[in-house]
């Protein structure tokens, strides 16, 4: 038994267990990419005012450009749902090999169902701000789970690479920055702070508080990313991921500042969401490498 390699038969294709887990890892990362695209498309729906173009759900029941944008978002959401369900099904099928990642993939599938329910709620509540915030939180959670799951499956058996302490605190900072950014959108205070680096005294109190917290945590996150990159570099960790985190965050700062100075044009608002989702995925990937390594060390 010691030299026997377990195999898995999948659709007539026989794979060794390591090959099966790698294939699951790539499927998880592909799902994460689709989810990031879905979030970016959702931002397009929001800023273009297309969310109310379809009076029905899940079918649209309307025509026109706005309806096409919203319909495209629903189709991409369907693709994301199929991919997440496939991951959860494969994980349950081979749960002894997938291990502790199995409940995470199942949780992602449950969140996708919640996303679908929230999609209906946002239509029938005229896009209530906090329904959209819950929609964003679940999307970020699914993106995080699929990214982390993919990295952990692909890096099994590899030596420790990243600093667990540095990567963990990047995740905390990203959660805070995203939470306050999402709350700004939910409370419709996006346009109520049009100065840099802080809001002017003319901005409402809520806008000043939310924007200040969002910008503060974003700044701390950027500083933390620089520090984490240095720590990772000294440990000989993969440089591409940390450089990607830094590049994405620099892009976020530039796009965010340009959006404020240019009175928040729609293309920059969409790009801001796209960069935010990719930055979150890159940070989670860094944490997954650190977690995988720290677990092997322990």
| Least-confidence region, from 59-63, 165-169, 201-205, 207-211 | 165-169
CATH annotation of 159-298: 1.20.1420
pLDDT in tens, 269-293: 999 999 999 999 999 998 888 776 5
Reported confidence tier of residue 203, pLDDT bands at 50, 70, 90: confident
Tell me the per-residue pLDDT of 225-273, one tens digit each, with 9 for 90 and over: 888 778 777 776 667 777 888 899 999 989 988 988 888 889 999 999 9
Residue 30: Cβ within 10 Å count: 14
Q: How far is CA 266 from the centre of its chain?
A: 21
Does 2 score more than 70 pLDDT? Answer: no
Label residue 294 by pLDDT band (50, 70, 90).
Answer: very low
Among 191, 170, 164, residue whose Cα is nearest residue 259: 191
Give the C-alpha distances (Å, rounded to integers) separating 85 from 3, 102, 108, 173, 187: 33, 12, 8, 30, 32
**How confident is the model at residue 145, as a pLDDT?**
96
Domain boundaries, the chain: 15-156, 159-298
Neighbour-count burial for 258-296, b at 16+ CB within 10 Å, e otherwise: ebbeeebeeebbbbbbbbbbbbbbbbbbbbbbbbbbbee
Whether the pLDDT of residue 87 is over 50: the answer is yes
pTM, full prediction:
0.87
| Average pLDDT value over all residues in the chain | 85
Residue 177 contacts by C-beta under 8 Å, 6 or more apart in sequence?
214, 217, 218, 221
pLDDT at 85 over 90: yes
Q: Average pLDDT in the 217-227 region? A: 89
227 by Cβ neighbours in 10 Å (0-12 / 13-18 / 19+) ranks as middle
Report which secondary-structure segment, H or E, holds 13: strand 13-16
């Amino acid at each position: 038994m010691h030299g026997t390699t377990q195999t898995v038969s999948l659709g007539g294709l026989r794979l060794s267990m390591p090959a099966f887990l790698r294939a699951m890892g790539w499927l998880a990362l592909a799902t994460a990419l689709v989810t990031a695209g879905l979030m970016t498309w959702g931002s397009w729906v929001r800023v273009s005012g297309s969310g109310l173009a379809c009076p029905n759900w899940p079918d649209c029941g309307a025509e026109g450009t706005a309806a096409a944008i919203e319909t495209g978002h629903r189709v991409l959401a369907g693709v994301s749902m199929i991919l997440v369900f496939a991951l959860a099904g494969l994980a349950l099928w081979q749960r002894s090999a997938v291990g502790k990642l199995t409940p995470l993939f199942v949780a992602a599938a449950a969140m996708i169902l919640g996303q679908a329910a929230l999609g209906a709620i946002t239509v029938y509540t005229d896009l209530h701000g906090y329904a959209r915030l819950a929609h964003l939180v679940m999307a970020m959670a699914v993106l995080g789970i699929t990214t982390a799951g993919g990295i952990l499956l692909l890096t099994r058996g590899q030596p420790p690479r990243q600093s667990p302490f540095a990567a963990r605190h990047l995740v905390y900072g990203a959660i805070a920055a995203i939470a306050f950014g999402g709350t700004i959108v939910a409370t419709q205070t996006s346009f109520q702070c049009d100065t840099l680096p802080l809001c002017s005294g003319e901005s409402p109190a809520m806008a000043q508080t939310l924007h200040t917290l969002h910008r503060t945590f974003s700044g701390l996150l950027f500083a933390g990313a620089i520090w984490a990159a240095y720590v990772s570099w000294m440990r000989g960790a993969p440089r591409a991921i940390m450089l990607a985190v830094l590049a994405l965050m620099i892009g976020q700062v530039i796009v965010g500042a340009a959006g404020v100075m240019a009175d928040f044009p729609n293309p920059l608002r969409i790009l801001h969401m796209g960069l935010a989702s990719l930055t979150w995925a890159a940070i989670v990937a860094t944490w997954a490498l650190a977690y995988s390594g720290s677990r092997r060390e322990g």
